[in-house]
Structure 1
Amino acid sequence: MDGSSTLVSRGGSDGLRRHDRDEDRRPLTPVRRGKVRRSMWCYALPLLVLVGVMYSAGRSSSARVEQSRAATTNRLNWQKKATAFKSEETSSSSLPRDKGIIMCMHNAAVPMGLSLVKELRCLGNHELIQVYHCFPEEMSDQSVTMLLQADDNLEIVDVCQDLVKRGVMTEDKAKQFRSWWVKPLAMYHTNIKEVLLLDIDDIFTRDPAVIRTTEGYQRTGTTFFYDRVLSSNEFFNQDVNGTQYLQLLLNEFDYAKFDLPPGASPSAHLDPKTSFAWKRQTSHEQDSSLVAIDKSRAGQAIDVLFFLITEQRFKREFSYGDKESFWLAFELAKQEYFFSPWGVGDISSSTNQDMAKHSDSLCGSIVQYMPVEDDTPEFLYVNGKALLDPIPGPVELLGKVTYNVLFNMSPTHLTPRQKRRPNGATSTDYKGGFPMECLVGFGADPLPEKFLPQLLRRRFFYFGIRMGVLSALDQCFPVAGIE
């Protein structure tokens, strides 16, 4: 890579990009450059505009919404509700469980999560949605009430309390899942057959259930997406006595414990000629902002997943957060799985002035394309809290993070669809450094016309919930560009 286009550490900003579930637990970490000064007015102005819009919508608040705002839910009576879920034994049989969606939330994440629930309904998805959390203190009665009264096909699942009650794990072990690690635990626990696990800051251009119609999913019952190619000597790429941890894990795994054939037999995904993970060129393989698994076709992978997240991760760290646990579980279970044929993309960061400074290198939130090999690229979704929340962390630390993870008011471009590859070099005159989120030299195409109207609608839902104007959820507000 050209020396003038060096990458600088993401310095904690990755937590903002990917793992919003911990937004009230982890402070923003300063980047390793000097302190950056900037005015907060660039974030206050769009916020004031949206406040005005929310006020107008609030005047039409319905009696149903007023009731939902005032109501409280007795946690002891959750299991008596048709829309509440405690365990497989007590769950309602009236809601179809052949296909469904799971999300993970805590109190601070509920507004963004509920805005995604509403957006999914507006996109035509009416599947069961299960909202997972870990122990009662993560989900207040107010949050429970808001969620259950906002959607009739939604369940709330305290996975940690349920597994402790059933003796599957101890309370101390369960407390280790009050983070992004609750995502694979939710995948293990859910009684939905064909599961879509979504991050709450995903912004979709169409119903994500379309994933199940693709060739890769129908063949394997899975769809995984790639993360950026980021090389470091850590996680599954760390060195253990001269051997890559990934290869050591495959060689030393107790296959007999799961009634699997003995010995390592790496899948085609780990082809030594093509796999960045196997060639030690990356320590990040999977982006877990959308994970699709048909559990009825997963073989021993779900049991292996449980082992990885409850035992193996405490012995040696194999992943930055939860994300590598899904594909590794299928790899170790010798179960066929499918990765998108396309690499990850980025959306342009207006705050970072990507297009003005380095128009071939975008640094915003992660973009994923439809995982099909055809002649017409289709932008499926962006995983980006920075597109929704004007204040991505503690106000006092906003001046210490890189521009590209701050509120992205008006993106204009996205990375063209292409095969996965490492960063290159910019062909522009830009001589500065690039935050780790940037895809350097990957190019830029204009965003589809329909995206900004959809983003505006999602922001409307989110701000309405944050402001207590729940009438914002009463309709889908079609605007130009949205069918």
Structure 2
Amino acid sequence: MTTFGGACVASLQKLWRIFRVMVKFEMDDLQTIKWDYKSNSISANESFAASIAKAAEAVVAMDASHFAKQQQKDHEQLQRIAAQHQQEIQQEQQQHEQQQQQEQQLEQQLEQQLQQEKQQQQQIEQLQQVEQLQQVEQLQQVEQAQALVPQEQDPTAVLQAAVIQDEQHQQVLQHIATAAAEAGSTLATVPITASPQPSAKAAVGSPEWHKIRRDNHKEVERRRRENINDGINDIAKIIPSCDKNKGSILREAVKYIKAVLAENERLTGELSAATTAKHEIERYLLEKSVAEATIHSLNVQYEQMKREYEDLRQKMDEAEGGPSSKKQRTEGRWGSAKDDANEERQRFPAERAKNRPTVPLLKVPDNLYLTHDVAIPGNIPVWTQEDTDMLDTTIGFDLKTEMLKEEYGKDQKLDNPNQLNFSELARTEKIYKALWNHVYPIYQKLSGRNDREKEKALIQLAKTHPEIDFFLRLEKRLFPWVQYVRQSSFSLHGTFKGRGLVFCAGNNQFEFVVTSIQSVRSRLKSTLPIQVFHMGDGDLSPLRQEYLRKMAADVEVIDVTNILDNDYMRLGGWAIKPFAMLASSFEEVMFVDADAYFLQDPAVLFQDPGYLTTGALFFYDRTLFANWAVGADWLKSVSSDLSSFTHISRMFRRTSAHEQESGVVLINKKTRFLGLMGTCKMNGKWERDLVSYKIFHGDKETFWTGFEMIQEPYVFMRNYGGVIGELRPDNENSNEGVTRYLDFGYWMAGGGHQKHRERDTNDPEALKEILNELGLKNKDEIPKEPKDAEWDFKQSCLVGARVNILTDREKTLANGYVGIDKLAHEEHRKIIAGETVDPRGHNWETV
């Protein structure tokens, strides 16, 4: 009922509001209202009804506006309340933080006060101890004085002195207490006494006074004995097998200390002797290296003096009418390949005139011999006008005919190793070196806008200069692949700039080179530019070439046959490596095998002192196959004029068939261009198929022997190879220590294949292939070198070598390379399947 009444009231109120609005806004539209008595109702015209409707709509609009305004006011009120509440919360937080800061400050102040109180308490205790000790000493002095001169001692004076000392101690203690009170310490109110005393002070000299002094003396003595006992007990813990008797403990402690001092003195002496011996050994090694270099220099001087002596004897024979002719002198200078029995005639030139200019010997710092094995070549003389004049003689004509034989490579097929005379080749290369050093300065002075114009000018000059004509023809015969898109090697030599890394890769090495390049770029952050060489689209497919170009910054992919003439090179397998180094645009080039990985930025090798001295840095291979005479015999047959390194090499001494590991090679082509040319010659089609690769294991030894052929300097870093793997006890014989096993997970976890298959000889077919390659019948014939770390083919491990633990950074790098190898293998699988892959879609730094 109440609800219905409320609704009626609300309706009436609303009708009243409508009526008021109608009267206010629609008064002009109102007309006469008539009362109908019959219907007892009010009637109005249409205008009045419309006015009522408008009024109703106005009321509704006013209600909506009023509701919106009221809602806006309520919202603003809520915002004010929320802001006020937030402000109160912030104030409470600030108050809480201030309260916490105040509490922390109070805690700090309390801690400081506690520390001050502790310090003051320690000072007071120290002063009490000092006062007690002084009292005891005074008492002892009084007693001693009484014992010595009792008849002359004045008791009154003794008592007065004791009183004075007591008063002084009381003044000191009172001064300390006053200072503590001024510092605000709570200890200022604590009474400080020199020693526990009765409340009533005993009279000086009284029995009670003497008793207190005796008690103090006993307490000091007790503490002293307690400290001594504690010290003796501590000593007993250190001395082994010691009795509990104090005297025994002290005696053993004295012996132990003396023994320790004697042992320390002995060890100091041994350390000093060892240090002296180490310095002596280093000095002897340095002297030995210097002596070896001096001996080589003396040998060179001896040969020169010998030739000068023969020249002088020949002149004496001419003066006396003996056998003397230009032919004899010329044959002595140039040598004759037909007379192999005459060693001097195999040299270029075998006979020098007195004071004839020569290329200066290499200057090597003495300390370099401690870390590197240096190859100092023979002293090749410079080309002179006398040599040029000789070319127009009959002997010169015969010499040119002999050296400029019909070149082979395009059409001629060689099937007999005897068709290649490496002794003659070495002599020809040395003559070429003298001519190159003579003609290159002439070429540099020629006018021309570019190398092509200079080469044309050089060819014109060759028509009137027989030595230039001889040089160009000799270069064509020795190195025909250089004159491909150029007329001489000079134009190629002038294009070299900067430093960089060179890789070689075909389809089978693709995933290896991806891992190696990404390890250098993404993990080691090396900025050295990289060039990847191949032998055409059939060797490395265009899809793989494009992948290599995109996967890292500053990577070029180059076809070596576009730079050097493959009709003469006939490249295949390992042979591409030195030719890729020659064809690269880098002045300082570092060749890296596709499966070689660094643990630091390879750029550091360019700062190696051996490389900076000679311009060529090589690395040793493992010692393997002793008593192998083929290599040593071949070296002796090539030339008697070899470098200082040859005679100390393991190959020459027949202690190893392997000398160089060619996985990393550094050559400065500006200074050692001719040495690299000699190495390329050793890897030519006929040289490698008939001789080089028959004697050596692939390209490995052709680098340093190529330098020997043309007599260029180089160094070997005096370090040898090892393996990275897991260290664990030897299961077969625990007495033999530990064995370093190669962890194949580093190379095969990502599905990558091992490049060196000889490390896994469990496969009978692989073992058969290895033995055929090594010329052995069975695995038992594989020799072991006792002087070096043993290489066990079955276990693929090195035995008896020094073990070094990898650093955490090196382990992280190695594990990162495994991740890269996994991704590279998967990418290569997709390329083989014909899928489209984009290396830029991977984050190589985190895989």
Map residues 402-413 of structure 1 onto 2, 5 A cutoff.
none
The answer (yes or no) to whether the contact 1:194–1:294 under 8 Å persists in 2 is yes
CA-CA distance at 1:196 after TM superposition: 0.7
2:519 aligned residue: 119
CA distance in 1 between counterparts of 2:737 and 2:592 reads: 30
Q: One-letter code of the match for 2:810?
A: F
Give SS of 1:296's match.
Answer: coil
1:153 aligned residue (540, 554, 558): 554
- Correspondences of 1:19-418 after superposition (within 5 Å): 97-122=497-522, 123-164=524-565, 169-170=566-567, 173-174=569-570, 177-231=571-625, 237-238=629-630, 244-249=633-638, 251=639, 264-271=640-647, 274-310=648-684, 311-316=686-691, 317-348=694-725, 359-362=737-740, 364=742, 385=747, 389=751, 391-392=753-754, 400=763
Aligned residue identity for 2:641? S
Q: What is the CA-CA distance between 1:99 and the residue it aligns to?
A: 0.2
Offset from partner CA, 1:18-66 (integer Å, 9 cap, x none) = xxxxxxxxxxxxxxxxxxxxxxxxxxxxxxxxxxxxxxxxxxxxxxxxx
- Native 8 Å contact 1:361 1:444 kept in 2: no
Contact 1:199 1:289 in 2 (8 A): yes
Counterpart Cα distance in 1 of 2:543 and 2:729: 40
**Is the Cα–Cα contact under 8 Å of residues 762 and 794 in structure 2 kept in the other structure?**
no
- 1:443 positional shift: 3.3
**Cα pair distance change 1:230/1:398, threshold 3 Å:** closer
AA matched with 2:661? D
Relative distance call for 1:355 and 1:161 in structure 2 (3 A) is farther
Aligned residue type for 2:567: T
Larger relative contact order (C-alpha < 8 A, sep ≥ 6)?
A: 1
User: Which whole-Å deviations, capped at 9, do the CAs of 1:414-448 have from their partners, x for residues lacking one?
Assistant: xxxxxxx9445999xxxx96549643322323222
Q: Is the 8 A contact 1:361 1:426 kept in 2?
A: no
Alpha carbons of structure 1 residues 385 and 330: separation in structure 2 relative to 1, 3 Å: farther
Contact 1:360 1:444 in 2 (8 A): no
Change beyond 3 A, Cα 1:213–1:392: closer
CA distance in 1, matches of 2:729, 2:750: 18
- Indicate if the aligned counterparts of 1:97 and 1:193 stay in contact, CA closer than 8 A: yes
Kindly indicate whether the alpha-carbon contact (under 8 Å) linking 1:130 and 1:157 is maintained by their aligned counterparts in 2. yes
Aligned partner of residue 157 in structure 1, secondary structure:
strand
C-alpha distance in 2 between matches for 1:233 and 1:214: 33
| Superposed displacement of residue 281, structure 1 | 1.4
Distance 2:619 2:731 in 1: 29
Q: Is the 8 A contact 2:617 2:717 kept in 1?
A: yes
Q: How far apart, CA to CA, are the structure 2 residues paired with 1:218 and 1:126?
A: 20
- Asked which structure has the greater CA Rg, the reply is 2
User: How far does the alpha carbon of each residue in 1:243-298 deviate from its partner, in whole angstroms, 9 at most, with x for none?
Assistant: 7112212x2xxxxxxxxxxxx33222223xx4311111111100011111111110
Other-structure match for 1:375: none
Q: Is the 8 A contact 1:118 1:473 kept in 2?
A: no
Cα 1:473–1:180 change in 2 (3 A) is farther
Q: Displacement, 1:349?
A: 5.9
Give the match's secondary structure for 2:742. Answer: coil
For 1:436-451, list aligned pairs within 5 A: 438-451=797-810
The answer to whether the 8 Å contact 1:97/1:128 transfers is: no
Q: 1:220 to 1:433 in 2, by over 3 A?
A: closer
Provide the secondary structure at the position in 1 that maps to 2:538. helix
Task: State the secondary structure of the residue aligned to 2:652.
Answer: coil
What code does the residue aligned with 2:601 have?
Answer: D
TM-score normalized with structure 1 length = 0.58
C-alpha distance 398-282 of structure 1, shift in aligned 2 (>3 A):
closer
What residue is the counterpart of 1:462 in the other structure?
Answer: 821
| C-alpha distance in structure 2 between counterparts of 1:99 and 1:425, whole Å | 35
Q: CA deviation at 1:458?
A: 1.3
Asked whether the 8 Å contact 2:529–2:555 carries over to 1, the reply is yes
Counterpart of 1:270, as a letter, is T
Q: Any stretches of 5+ residues in structure 1 without a counterpart?
A: 1-86, 90-94, 252-263, 367-383, 405-420, 479-483
Q: Is the 8 A contact 1:360 1:426 kept in 2?
A: no
Contact 2:516 2:594 in 1 (8 A): yes
Q: Give the corresponding residue for 1:476.
A: 845
Structure 1 distance, partners of 2:754, 2:789, is 28
Q: Which amino acid aligns with 1:148?
A: R
For 2:652 and 2:602, the matched residues in 1 are separated by 30
- String of CA shifts for 1:170-202, please: whole Å, max 9, x gaps: 17x52xx32122112212222211111001221
Give the deviation of 1:343 after TM superposition: 2.0
How far residue 335 of structure 1 moved from its aligned partner, in angstroms, is 1.4
For 2:654, what is the secondary structure of its paired residue?
Answer: coil
CA contact (8 A) 1:318 1:324 kept: no
Deviation at 1:327, TM superposition (A): 1.2
SS in 2 for 1:278: coil
In structure 2, give the amino acid aligned to 1:202: A
Q: Normalization by structure 2: what TM-score?
A: 0.34
Distance 2:801 2:485 in 1: 46
The separation in 1 between residues aligned to 2:789 and 2:667, in whole angstroms, is 37
Q: Is the 8 A contact 1:308 1:329 kept in 2?
A: yes
Contact map agreement 2:521 2:552 (CA 8 A) in 1: no
Give the Cα separation in 1 of the matches to 2:716 and 2:788: 26
Listed as ranges, the gaps of 5+ residues in structure 2 are 1-483, 487-494, 768-783, 828-836
> Does the aligned pair in 2 maintain the 1:385–1:392 contact within 8 Å?
yes
How far apart are the structure 1 equivalents of 2:527 and 2:501? 10
- CA RMSD between the two structures: 3.7
| Partner in structure 1 of residue 812 of structure 2 | 453
The match for 1:374 is none
| Secondary structure of 1:112 counterpart | helix
Change (3 A) 1:401 1:221: farther
Q: Is the 8 A contact 2:747 2:818 kept in 1?
A: no
**Contact 1:201–1:385 (CA<8 Å) still a contact in 2?**
no
Answer with 151-160 or 469-478: which moved more.
Answer: 469-478
The one-letter code matched in structure 2 to 1:306 is C
C-alpha distance in 1, partners of 2:545/2:804? 41
Q: Is the 8 A contact 1:99 1:195 kept in 2?
A: yes
